[in-house]
Structure 1
């Protein structure tokens, strides 16, 4: 037994060194069009990820330590798989000079020669023509982080990157802390948290490529922990902060209905009126706190032009952009067969309605009366949105991955690996998705999800029969 433990320990060190090399390569020498190297290294990172969890899953300090070290490897690197951070720095420096970043297009400012920030040309060139031609859609807490980077490093892109990266590393540490506590409270294995914290997709996309889903997820997990503890007013405050990083958690609000009322909509008549009124009152106050804080954080920026620009940007996301989509690509193909052109403008208007109706059905008619069932409902509500969206970047998915940690579903882990195929769109000959690989990605995801649903249903029937 002692020899076995020693052997595992030595092999764990090998896996740590392999992972560290992969993250170093992703952070520094890698060129995203070197697809063979990228996919190979990603595969090594995932094999090491599974090996480390298997061998050291009960060694909390060891895994927590290496999770932080893996992230610190990226500290001084400039993201090479995403250009978004240039716009982050641009917005932050613009805001620091007293300019509302929601009101100005980078293209217009550069053309007028009136950009009031340092390194404007480098930032403009870095963000790319697509980003520079659209108004910013980054929310107030995002903008606060960007301003902090501008204050600390107003003249150095690398310095600003380090500040932003430290924020995201701290956010992941917070997710580890509250995620572990929530797992304990739910009676689930605390080792589940490593499926998120050590996942290569999370490390590369959130810390490596500076996507602020990491901060949103920290606030979301903290809010869920507080809600499960019964501290629902504080949970509303923290959820509002999550929404103020990314708007995505708005989708969860209806799903919390049963957690507050403890009844499905079809069972409301079985609850006494006084109890129902009290519980609905709590839910309304919860919603009011969330909306009040979000609106309050937007208030310093609000103007008629801001509203117009923000609506335009959100509309473009649903009706113009398309990447690594699932059911949308099938609908688009059907559209081509019927009318002969890309029907994204029409589909982009329909899919939000489909998602909204689906979320309402999950919210009111599925049994979400205990907290585990509520989190599972959050998982499937968000899954429907991601399965129908026109644009599915890898970092969007990380919210779904963290929710799955608190459920019995693991199709998200499969998806986190299959996402590497989406990078094949960035080829040396130019941008172009390989739809066969997109199909392979989603066949694996849907196939494993179907397998899990069938398996969990069988277990449920066996338990009922016994």
Structure 2
């Protein structure tokens, strides 16, 4: 024991300092105090960087530290996001036998029974925007809300604690399968800690209770099984991932060359067999997603859910990059906000980009496929009208299996978006958003150019 303390004394000091910083972040931080927020965040990034650098070969120390940092938040009420109030609300409705997709919270003020003690607090906590719109969370997510609310005794803090355990377990699953996949791809196993030990992940997922972590667990498990040639189970898990968050739907077109491998296979019979396998994969994914929606399905549900999803493209604006430039041009030319038009055109551009990546990029290995997924989802977020910080969890995890590091930089700079929350109200600082995206997109383009240059060298593997 004494030898361990002697050999790891600086790392232990970093861990203790990290616990203190996370404690302050969890229990003594006001979202409007941006100076304190970014100071703690920067300090935690330094701590994680040094720990990974010093202990990169000590898996259990880094894994234990990652769990310890997460447990600091266990009894904390999220202080950077109010979405959890809506999670609990939807969970309560399901326990009451009410379909959460068929009404907005403001419509149910007089209809609830057992929500008497918490109803007003939930409505006030989620804010008028959430309370006035239909839910957009898919069925597996809703199931987790309901279980958490039930096990939490229908109270707010109890539900929060159960949700936090689900998210921590999902992160541990991502650590397990992420490390196994890195080893299979002959990549350094410690790279998974750029995700697991990243303060951005700990704060946004465990701290702020965003279920992207659960979605990513099923996604990385699916990719691992895909690499192992276990198509059936991979497809089912990808379907479950979509039923937690819809984002993985973006990756379906990118599987074309992974299955077909048309540039390497001359035998048309083999191509036909792989095409059938691809269709079977899509069928299983679709069947899994549809099965999860069946308990809620109705024409009214389809209308409400579609309306809720459309809001993210045509109404909501936050921390955007290219869209804000387009919006500024629109103001100069039209004299008003063109989000209704841009929100229809930008998704079409994303579809074209995904189609190009699917058919013209050689995604015929797992590592190349993951790299293409990273490019596709990054293009989607660069063109989006709304990019909440926790959205960056997906490109960050995918980047762990590639040579790209722009997403790691993004996971640090995205904290600048929290400057919008002030004591005087919500107001985005476009200078800080500009810094965020100039740096991130600049590194992104530099890495793209560098990777293309390297592939042209005769000695490049």
> TM-score, normalised to structure 1's length?
0.96
How far residue 454 of structure 1 moved from its aligned partner, in angstroms, is 3.3
Partner of 2:239: 240
Partner of 1:443: 438
Partner of 1:90: 89
The answer to whether the Cα contact below 8 Å between 1:325 and 1:387 also exists between their aligned partners in 2 is: yes
For 1:57, what is the secondary structure of its paired residue? coil
Q: Matches of 2:266 and 2:237 in 1, distance apart?
A: 30
The answer to whether the Cα contact below 8 Å between 1:18 and 1:44 also exists between their aligned partners in 2 is: no
The answer to whether the Cα contact below 8 Å between 2:262 and 2:271 also exists between their aligned partners in 1 is: no
Q: Matches of 2:17 and 2:349 in 1, distance apart?
A: 44
Structure 1: gaps spanning 5 or more residues: none
For 1:382, what is the secondary structure of its paired residue? helix
How far residue 457 of structure 1 moved from its aligned partner, in angstroms, is 3.5
Partner of 1:208: 207
1:338-377 superposed matches below 5 A: 338-377=333-372
How far residue 42 of structure 1 moved from its aligned partner, in angstroms, is 0.4
Residues 170-179 or 308-317, more deviating: 308-317
For 1:102, what is the secondary structure of its paired residue? coil
How far residue 450 of structure 1 moved from its aligned partner, in angstroms, is 2.5
How far residue 465 of structure 1 moved from its aligned partner, in angstroms, is 7.4
Q: Matches of 1:238 and 1:452 in 2, distance apart?
A: 31
The answer to whether the Cα contact below 8 Å between 1:383 and 1:400 also exists between their aligned partners in 2 is: yes
Partner of 2:140: 141
The answer to whether the Cα contact below 8 Å between 1:109 and 1:115 also exists between their aligned partners in 2 is: no
Q: Verify: 1:48 aligned to 2:47, yes or no.
A: yes
Q: How many residues end up aligned between the 2 structures?
A: 459
The answer to whether the Cα contact below 8 Å between 2:94 and 2:100 also exists between their aligned partners in 1 is: yes
Q: Matches of 2:111 and 2:96 in 1, distance apart?
A: 16
Partner of 1:388: 383
> TM-score, normalised to structure 2's length?
0.97
The answer to whether the Cα contact below 8 Å between 1:217 and 1:242 also exists between their aligned partners in 2 is: yes
Residues 67-76 or 272-281, more deviating: 272-281
Q: How big is each residue's C-alpha offset from its partner over 1:62-102, in whole Å with a ceiling of 9 and x where there is no partner?
A: 00001001111101110010000000011011101100000
Match of 1:297 among 280, 292, 300: 292
Partner of 1:153: 152
Q: Matches of 1:27 and 1:160 in 2, distance apart?
A: 17
Partner of 1:328: 323
RMSD, aligned CA: 1.7
Q: Verify: 1:455 aligned to 2:450, yes or no.
A: yes
Q: Matches of 2:375 and 2:161 in 1, distance apart?
A: 35
Partner of 2:122: 123
Partner of 1:431: 426
For 2:165, what is the secondary structure of its paired residue? helix
How far residue 428 of structure 1 moved from its aligned partner, in angstroms, is 1.2
Partner of 1:63: 62
Structure 2: gaps spanning 5 or more residues: none
Q: 1:7 to 1:455 in 2, by over 3 A?
A: farther
Partner of 2:305: 310
Q: How big is each residue's C-alpha offset from its partner over 1:409-464, in whole Å with a ceiling of 9 and x where there is no partner?
A: 11111000101100000011110001010000011101222332333344334453
How far residue 263 of structure 1 moved from its aligned partner, in angstroms, is 2.1
